[in-house]
Amino acid sequence: MIEQLKNSGFEEMTLNMGPQHPSTHGVLHLLLKMDGEVITEARPDIGYLHRGMEKIAEKRTWGANIALSDRWDYIASMSNNFAAVLGPEKLMSITVPKRAEYIRVIMAELNRIASHLIFFGTYGIDIGAFTPFFYAFREREKILDLYESVCGARLTYNYFRIGGVSADLPEEFIPGVKAFINYFRPKLKEYDTLLSTNPIFMDRTVGVGAITKEEAIDWALSGPNIRASGVNFDLRKDDPYSVYSEFDFNIPTGKNGDCWDRYMVRMNEMKESARIVEQALEKLEPGDIMAKVAKVIRPPAGEIYTHVEAPKGELGVYCISDGSTMPYRYKVRGPSFVNLAILQKMLKGLRIADVVAVLGSIDIVLGEVDR
């Protein structure tokens, strides 16, 4: 059909979506070849936010790299911190005190909620509903307030340290988290009323951009994206790090791997994260928050690939140490980077309205894609 049209003088339209476009979540550039509104070829063009993180990391001490890690996935910096400290800790065989471990888990899970809230809000905007955004940010604000009380920052926390965390919890933090969890649970129902079961929303997302199980594994998707396709793959269970093996929580999975499944997996994950936070609060006991670590961090020569389950998926750090104060190689495997790659395959045959639905449902942060 398209061939015939081409021969008769019609041509495909090339649409540059981005890097400045309201719904490419930053500076993503999509090159779309289109036949009317239907996409025949899509090519994501990334790198507009490339800051050479991996090169910079080779010239910074191990400790300084934690501050750098805040800038990968800048809406889930706690998880980045987590990934950044695990490697050197394991190389130096540091045992992190229990209290610090629980604090880390609380922070990471709260961050998961915050990150998924941003997804919920921006996904609403992608689909055309503006209001959920403000609802999501109302709740996220409370999490940021909690973070601010602990580490003084609201976006780039730089809270984890090799061997523990930088500061103990202030007095008001634990009641604050408990109050937040109690406040947050009913809000999830509100979201379902507002967006999740809205017929138009379901019409836009159910069956759109479906990824099969095999494809999801083949493209090495991770996080909610692979779980929505029915693969029960969560590093918190499959390769437990920190103290995650002590908690009782479920891994929500989807069935069809379409946009709605990816959305629902995230919504359900927030519930599970709230459960983990509650359990961690119960287990939290007074104690040290830092292990005894030398002032100058000099991991022995060696290499390690550590990964954490960040809100977006598997955040891996492959670090090679040559025994000096700075990493020899510091490779960051950003989940957004890997998840985004499948876009070029998914978009074929969809409409331009589906582009934003699919892109939003993958939930990328360009800071992590481009690093």
What is the spatial order of strands in the sheet that 313-321 belongs to?
A: 302-310, 313-321, 327-333
Instruction: Name the CA radius of gyration of the chain, rounded.
Output: 21
Q: How far is the CB of 20 from another protein (least distance, A)?
A: 9
| SS3 assignment, position 27 | coil
Pick 206 or 243: Cβ nearer another protein: 206
Pick 12 or 168: Cβ nearer another protein: 12
CA 367 – CA 364 distance, rounded (Å): 9
Q: How far is the CB of 126 from another protein (least distance, A)?
A: 5
Q: How far is the CB of 2 from another protein (least distance, A)?
A: 18
CA 60 – CA 58 distance, rounded (Å): 6
- Per the listing, tokens 């507009």 go with 48
Task: For residue 37, give the DSSP letter.
Answer: T
Pick 166 or 198: Cβ nearer another protein: 198
| SS3 assignment, position 28 | coil
Pick 159 or 219: Cβ nearer another protein: 219
C-alpha closest to that of 92 among 245, 239, 306, 236: 306
- Look up residue 233 and give its two tokens: 């793959």
| Cβ-contact 133, 141 below 8 angstroms | no
Q: Exposed, middle or buried by CB within 10 Å (0-12, 13-18, 19+), for 21?
A: middle
- Look up residue 151 and give its two tokens: 């580490």
Q: How far is the CB of 113 from another protein (least distance, A)?
A: 18
Q: How far is the CB of 317 from another protein (least distance, A)?
A: 9
Pick 101 or 314: Cβ nearer another protein: 314
Pick 151 or 297: Cβ nearer another protein: 297
* Close Cβ partners of 152 (under 8 Å, ≥ 6 residues apart): none
Q: How far is the CB of 334 from another protein (least distance, A)?
A: 10
Q: How far is the CB of 203 from another protein (least distance, A)?
A: 6
Pick 220 or 284: Cβ nearer another protein: 220
